[in-house]
Chains A and B, each alone.
Chain A
Amino acid sequence: MDWTFYFTQFIAGLSQGMFLFILATGLSLILGVMGIVNFAHGSFYMIGAYLTYYLVTLLGGSFWLAIILASVSLAGIGYLLQRFLIHRLYGRPELQLVFTFAFVLIFSDLIKMGFGVLPKGVAYPELLSGIFEIGPIRFPKYHIFIITLGPIIAYLLRMLEQRTRMGRIMRAASLNRDMVNALGINTERVFTLVFGIGAFLAGLGGALASPTVSIALGMDAAVVLPAFVVVIFGGLGSFAGTFFAALIAGQVQVFGILFFPRLAESFIFILMAIVLIARPWGLSNRPPKFA
């Protein structure tokens, strides 16, 4: 095997990592800023994929429009969930687990009722179907697109976090919610926005992943654990941490499968164990404190 093979695998690792990042970053936001363990995050991803299937394959619409609509719908679902349920669960992790898991089951059954149990497919968008070739390296255009999109999203989120008032409030709230409240800021509104953004990102992740996977029940469970792992070892609430954690996880997954295929499902957890033993608060610098 020559260098072109390993380089192609490296690119595959990058695209895996970026898919994971888009999904995990929403989770990181929700967990870091609000302190909420949102198991339904995988369900948001799955709904995003199914909505894209509905809009593209069943209604014959444009892929790009479908992505936007699906993500925005998830933001709406996230808003409703937060408004009527999540806001009662602050600081009570045992309830968060139970209630968000309940929604995992509810969403799964709703999807089963609406779409049945058979897997669905979404075709690659016209613009991005086909292979991108540079010399001996060939890779699907769509995956190259995801690799470029990941850092763009990371950058936008970083700008939000660092340069906007809302971002400052989010960072403050992740460090000390009570203080933020005491300063007269309506944390409730901030949290609703944060949950909405988190759900939007999960839906976007699912929508973007839809042409590359078999869209079926159980895809929520398949992604939620790796997403949590990435969030945890990246450092809670830190976009940079999540980004690098996702990059590493993607590479570990791809090269791990190559050399030890029977351990395929375990790599991400082995990685998490190693990182947490060395740095219990994850890759990012600061140990987070949330209320």
Chain B
Amino acid sequence: MKKLSLIVLVILLVGGLAFGACAPKEEAVEEIKIGHLGLLSGAGAVAGRPILDGARLAVDEINEAGGVLGARLVLVSRDTGGRPEEAVRLTRELILGEGAQFIQGPFTDACNMAVSQVGKELETIIFPYVAKTHRLLSPEFFHPYIFQPSSNTLYEGGYAAMIVAENPEWKTVFVIGPDYEYGQMQCGSFMSKLTELRPDVEFEEAWPALFATDFTPYITRMVETEPDVVFIAQWGGDFITLMKGMAAFGVFDVVDFVVTVGENGSPEFAIPLGDDYPEGVFANAMDVLYWPDTPEHRAYEKALADISGEPYPFGNAIQGYIGIKLLAAAIEKAGTTDSLAVVEALEGLTIDTPLGPMTMGEDHQLRRPMIWGYTKKVPEYPFVVLDRIELVPYESVVPD
């Protein structure tokens, strides 16, 4: 009986293989593959997930309009979990295994620095979406295939410093940031710009680990030192946990001003914080669903809400969206998917975005303005929104 079952099994297996081999091949459609390295798990997923949605939206829009150079755009996504070794491994897999011709992502700056080198080695364009460290394009790490399609830490930390410098009464600043590339660059940029503008300011620093689960020792330190200003570089789940802790310990009652960078003014971070997000926090965002009130922006937000299924579309999505649009426009302009030709097409390229035109610099840094404002509770939304919004151009903080 056992022997019979074995024979039947073998026949089924061989039959199945033969059948598979004979199945009619799908019509080979010309495709352009873009690998997407996402941050889709863990504390960073709140920031990473919307970016994939934005990228998918752009891909759908472009394909509906006829694709790029007559070919279909295909997005192949992977989850790096925020680990640089994983990001590097997945980059190779996407390029060598899946045949991806361009890489969008990864997310964290530790991953960006690592994957950039893979792009250099495999001569493939690496297009991160929220790369912040200004070291990414510095002379020692630069190569033709790396681009920075978001603002950087020079701009963000710098602008935050410019705002804090304006008030002469603020003399003590508590700086807290995650202890890795991004946090160090962001806080470093903030502190050096502020020292340049206001040499009288004193700093107190705190460096929790990235994705730490408890910030109590640092928060109690904040309460103890009673600074005038708190500068927060934590993002994603870290920002949420930190703010909750700060609310619980009454930090917002003892400090005059809280400023944070890293898109913490976006709805995706305001929503989980609910009432624990106080008013008057100076924060920024890549995009907010409620501003600006132009037809292009409204259309984008509606399409994003549909594809993501989120009632309040998230701010980070636009970076995934803009990245794909930039790549597609450059490939069109170059007339080929050859990497170096697309690199040349990207340099100096201006495209239209839901926030207005944006230009990719010759130096591979996108002149990306960010939305800055002060948090405020409003009746229309169950989360804090940014008030007194300004779209601050890259050049006003980092002159060309």
Is chain B's interface secondary structure helix, strand, loop, or mixed overall?
A: helix
- Which residues of chain A from 112 to 136 have any CB-CB distance to chain B below 8 Å in the complex? 117-121, 123-124, 129-131
- Which residues of chain A from 38 to 82 have any CB-CB distance to chain B below 8 Å in the complex? 57
Is chain A's interface secondary structure helix, strand, loop, or mixed overall?
A: mixed
- Which residues of chain B from 332 to 374 have any CB-CB distance to chain A below 8 Å in the complex? none
A16 to B245, CA, bound (A): 13
Specify the chain B residue showing the minimal Cβ separation from A121: B272
Q: Is the CB of A118 within 8 A of B272?
A: yes
- Given pairs A5-B220, A216-B45, A258-B217, 12 additional interface contacts (CB within 8 A): A8-B223, A12-B216, A15-B216, A117-B40, A117-B49, A119-B272, A120-B272, A121-B272, A130-B250, A213-B241, A253-B214, A257-B208
| Interface pairs (5), CB distance under 8 Å | A4-B224, A124-B248, A212-B245, A214-B241, A254-B216
Most B CB contacts (10 A, CB to CB) among A119, A142, A217 go to A119
Tell me if A159 is interfacial: C-beta within 8 Å of chain B: no
Name B249's contact: one of A1, A9, A121, A131 (CB within 8 Å): A131
Chain A residues near B40 (CB-CB < 8 A): 117
Tell me if A177 is interfacial: C-beta within 8 Å of chain B: no
Specify the chain A residue showing the minimal Cβ separation from B224: A5
- How far, in Å, is B12 (CB) from chain A's closest CB? 28
A94 to B46, CA, bound (A): 35
Contacts A12-B216, A124-B248; A118 near B45 (Cβ below 8 A): yes
Chain B residues near A178 (CB-CB < 8 A): none
Chain B residues near A (Cβ < 8 Å): 40-43, 45-46, 49, 179, 207-209, 212-214, 216-218, 220-221, 223-224, 237, 240-241, 244-245, 248-250, 268, 271-276
Tell me if A261 is interfacial: C-beta within 8 Å of chain B: yes
Q: Is the CB of B217 within 8 A of A9?
A: yes
Q: Is the CB of A217 within 8 A of B209?
A: no
Tell me if A222 is interfacial: C-beta within 8 Å of chain B: yes
Specify the chain B residue showing the minimal Cβ separation from A133: B250
A8 to B40, CA, bound (A): 36
Chain B residues near A120 (CB-CB < 8 A): 272
Specify the chain A residue showing the minimal Cβ separation from B268: A118
- How far, in Å, is A21 (CB) from chain B's closest CB? 15
Q: Is the CB of A262 within 8 A of B249?
A: no
Name B244's contact: one of A4, A212, A217, A258 (CB within 8 Å): A212
Q: Is the CB of B249 within 8 A of A218?
A: no
Chain B residues near A142 (CB-CB < 8 A): 248
A257 to B213, CA, bound (A): 11
- How far, in Å, is B172 (CB) from chain A's closest CB? 16
Assign chain A's interface to a size class: 35 or more
> Mask for A204-217, Cβ within 8 A of B = 1, else 0?
00000001111111
Contacts A138-B250, A261-B208; A213 near B213 (Cβ below 8 A): yes
A234 to B43, CA, bound (A): 30
Chain A residues near B (Cβ < 8 Å): 1, 4-5, 8-9, 12, 15-16, 57, 117-121, 123-124, 129-131, 138-140, 142-143, 211-219, 222, 253-255, 257-258, 261-262, 264-265
Chain B residues near A257 (CB-CB < 8 A): 208, 214, 217-218
Specify the chain A residue showing the minimal Cβ separation from B236: A119
Contacts A138-B250, A264-B209; A214 near B179 (Cβ below 8 A): no
- How far, in Å, is A245 (CB) from chain B's closest CB? 18
A130 to B271, CA, bound (A): 21
Name A216's contact: one of B43, B179, B216, B220 (CB within 8 Å): B43
A265 to B213, CA, bound (A): 10
Q: Is the CB of B244 within 8 A of A121?
A: yes
- How far, in Å, is A267 (CB) from chain B's closest CB? 12
Contacts A253-B214, A261-B207; A1 near B224 (Cβ below 8 A): yes
Contacts A131-B249, A254-B216; A119 near B42 (Cβ below 8 A): no
Q: Is the CB of A121 within 8 A of B276?
A: yes
Q: Is the CB of A139 within 8 A of B46?
A: no
Chain A residues near B179 (CB-CB < 8 A): 261-262
- How far, in Å, is A264 (CB) from chain B's closest CB? 5
Q: Is the CB of B273 within 8 A of A121?
A: yes
Q: Is the CB of A218 within 8 A of B221?
A: no
A139 to B219, CA, bound (A): 11
Chain B residues near A215 (CB-CB < 8 A): 272
Chain B residues near A222 (CB-CB < 8 A): 213
Specify the chain A residue showing the minimal Cβ separation from B254: A138
- How far, in Å, is B120 (CB) from chain A's closest CB? 30
- How far, in Å, is A53 (CB) from chain B's closest CB? 10
Contacts A214-B244, A217-B42, A262-B179; A118 near B49 (Cβ below 8 A): yes
